[in-house]
Amino acid sequence: MKYILVTGGVISGIGKGIIASSVGTILKSCGLRVTAIKIDPYINIDAGTFSPYEHVVPHITDAIQEWVVKQAKVPVDGDETEPQVCVIELGGTVGDIESMPFVEAFRQFQFKVKRENFCNIHVSLIPQPSATGEQKTKPTQNSVRELRGLGLSPDLIMCRCTTALENSVKEKISMFCHVEPQQVICVHDVLSIYRVPLLLEDQGVVGYLSRRLNMPIETKSRQMLTKWKEMSDRSDRLLEQCSIALVGKYTKFSDSYASVIKALEHSALAINHKLEVKYIDSAYLEPSTLQEEPVKYHEAWQKLCSADGVLVPGGFGVRGTEGKIHAINWARKQKKPFLDANSTEFDPESKHPVVIDMPEHNPGQMGGTMRLGKRRTIFKSSNSVLRRLYGDADYVDERHRHRFEVNPELKNHFEEKGFRFVGQDVEGERMEVIELDDHPYFVGVQYHPEFTSRPIKPSPPYLGLLLAAAGKLQSYLQKGCRLSPR
């Protein structure tokens, strides 16, 4: 197993995820089996219950290295073959207190797996103040120095910059960061993130990693990278636009819905449309906001009414839930759901518990009690839009993350009103997929389809939403789920 650790310095949000994904893409295009791990440096029994607005100080764990080795061996890409390369993105910034246990774990790890099986890519910022236009290397020098002080030495320094790195700047970084000039990689701003793998490929990253880690690389034409280039070129030429209203609770930070946004982008690109996401705080759609902040209320409703499609991602807790219901109600009535009932999450004594907790997954405490991971959903109806979008599959395996479910006792009540539960779990007890009759596209799913969306293979539920929003869904289905030639 070859391990590639991606760290970051100077600021958070520097682009480690894009670099890690790009490195994985170009290595995969060489015929290697590649897996990936994303580490958020917070240690908690169930870190997924945090609000995106919160952080905590972690506790030390001795299990980090064992966990990485175990996860790196899990087969990916639908086969049972063990991966050859694991790209690990360590979240946060080098020097942050919460990442210290992880940095120390990888300092030890590099000796455990040996140098020929471990390398470090460090992503850093090269600021370019507008007053002088000069590319500054000092933040990167300091960041690399701090990384070395913690026991890790970068093999590649990936420099995030506004414009292409000047040769003199590259040489300066090489000299003061103790690496060869070819180990300094320029990652300047490009038209779309899909160009980053091509940018790394052009600067010889594959060749360097092949030599450094002694990895077998296919010399034949790399079809995957050719497809990637075609997709990148098409991304730059998009003219038509499609707008989606994202009605959620954490819209101050777009990263709160990173997977959802990426899934929307993948689907928009597949249908040759630019994506416009209209972020709407669901609380602003509620009548109470009209009394307290009428401007925000009207602005939120204007955004919703002007969108081509509506997406309401999941979220825990009471806040903003009424606004979500108002948005769903509007979308249903305008042929784009309203639920006149309550949930035991918000009112445990509700007389109309449409949404109930799962007793075996919720023994009275929030942490560590979710229904998590890949689960199978069986399609119970052949007359299902989503089933057709999945290629007329009898079942799908998607990732779950929930502790509440639709009350099965009310299944018949829903279906009498046109809400059909077309997908259920293997036991036939849990409602997994719901569709609304006599509607252009109304689909609700229990799972998180955005987690498996990829740029070249978008998530079917998201693709269906974008197709319907662009008025192309029926044509797509009639053509056997084939997109028009580009």
State the pLDDT at residue 57: 41
The ranges assigned to domains in the chain are 2-233, 238-478
Burial class (CB in 10 A: 0-12, 13-18, 19+), 273: buried
pLDDT mean over 194-200: 91
Question: How crowded is residue 420: how many other Cβ atoms within 10 Å of its Cβ?
Answer: 18
State the pLDDT at residue 313: 84
Higher-confidence residue of 314 and 273: namely 273
- Asked if residue 119 has pLDDT above 60, the reply is yes
State the pLDDT at residue 213: 93
| 50-56: long-range contacts, CB 8 A cutoff, minimum separation 24 | 51/250, 52/250, 52/253, 52/255, 52/256, 53/250, 53/252, 53/253, 55/98, 56/98
Is residue 19 within 8 Å of residue 196, measured between CB atoms?
Answer: yes
- Asked if residue 479 has pLDDT above 60, the reply is yes
Percent of the chain whose predicted confidence (pLDDT) is above 70: 87
- The DSSP secondary-structure symbol of 234 reads H
Percent of the chain whose predicted confidence (pLDDT) is above 90: 43
* 173-182, 222-231, 359-368: segment of lowest average pLDDT: 359-368
pLDDT band at 461; cut points 50, 70, 90: very high
pLDDT band at 8; cut points 50, 70, 90: confident
Residues near 122 by Cβ (< 8 Å), separated by ≥ 6? 6, 7, 8, 9, 94, 143, 144, 147, 154, 156, 157, 158
Q: pLDDT tens-digit profile of 407-419?
A: 888 888 888 888 8
* 133-137, 246-250, 348-352, 381-385: segment of lowest average pLDDT: 348-352
Domains 2-233 and 238-478 share a fold: yes
The CATH architecture to which 238-478 belongs is 3-Layer(aba) Sandwich (3.40)
Q: pLDDT tens-digit profile of 227-237?
A: 889 989 988 88
- Asked if residue 337 has pLDDT above 50, the reply is no
Instruction: Give, in words, the CATH class of 2-233.
Output: alpha beta
Q: Beta strand 241-248 with 184-188: parallel, antiparallel or unpaired?
A: unpaired
pLDDT mean over 333-337: 71
Most confident of 348-352, 353-357, 429-433: 429-433
- Asked if residue 314 has pLDDT above 80, the reply is no
State the pLDDT at residue 53: 62
Helix extents (H) in 135-218: 138-149, 167-177, 196-202, 205-213
Rounded-to-integer distance, Cα 211 and Cα 217, Å:
10
State the pLDDT at residue 349: 60
Is residue 440 within 8 Å of residue 385, measured between CB atoms?
Answer: no
φ/ψ of 356, rounded to 5, equals -125, 160
pLDDT mean over 41-47: 61
